Amino acid sequence: MQLKNPRREIKSIDLLPLINVVFLLILFVLIAGRPSTNQPAGLEVARSTIASAHEGAALSVWLKQDDGFYLSDIKPVTLGELADLVVEKGIAAQGLPLELIADRRATAKQLLAFRRAMARAGVGEIRLKTELTGGAVQ
């Protein structure tokens, strides 16, 4: 009587689907996990000692060290252009707030001029984005 030697078949694990899933997860994290700040490089925001919850605003304006107002890193905009944009988007009519990210080296004169121009445009609330002295941006 002859006994059969059962040969073990080596089953290979197909790693291709696992690699695909990991690659897709990495892509998702890179795209969806981007930082929520829209600060340009080199902007030092003002500091505050009281933490507050961050709420999004309808429009974010940067006041840089050169006392220029920016909507992007490309070119400065005038207060008149900002006021026209607020009216065009209906921000004041809807009662939406604006967000101002001011460089701490900018002058208060420009900050006050911004407030006056936005008040004339009908904006009721401007939120100043600051850095908590503990290091987190609020």
Helix 108-120 to helix 79-89 angle (10° resolution) is: 40
Count the neighbouring beta carbons within 10 Å of the beta carbon of residue 137: 14
Residue 77 lies in a domain: yes
The pLDDT, as a whole number, for residue 138 is 45
Q: What is the value of pTM for the model shown?
A: 0.58
Is 60 a member of any domain? yes
Q: How far apart are CA 123 and CA 121, in angstroms?
A: 6
- For 94-131, letters b (16+ CB in 10 Å) and e give eebbbbbbbbeebeeebbeebeebbeebebeebbebbb
pLDDT reported for residue 136: 46
Q: Which two tokens stand for residue 14?
A: 């197909």
- Write the pLDDT tens digit of every residue in 47-106: 666 666 666 677 888 888 888 888 876 788 888 988 888 888 888 888 888 888 888 888
**Res 124 pLDDT > 70:** yes
Question: Which CATH number does the domain housing residue 114 bear?
Answer: 3.30.420
Query: Percentage of the chain surpassing pLDDT 70?
Result: 75
Considering the domain boundaries, does residue 75 fall inside one? yes
Structural domain boundaries enclosing 65: 47-132
Split at pLDDT 50, 70, 90, the class of 24 is very high
pLDDT, position 135: 47
Domain count, the chain: 1
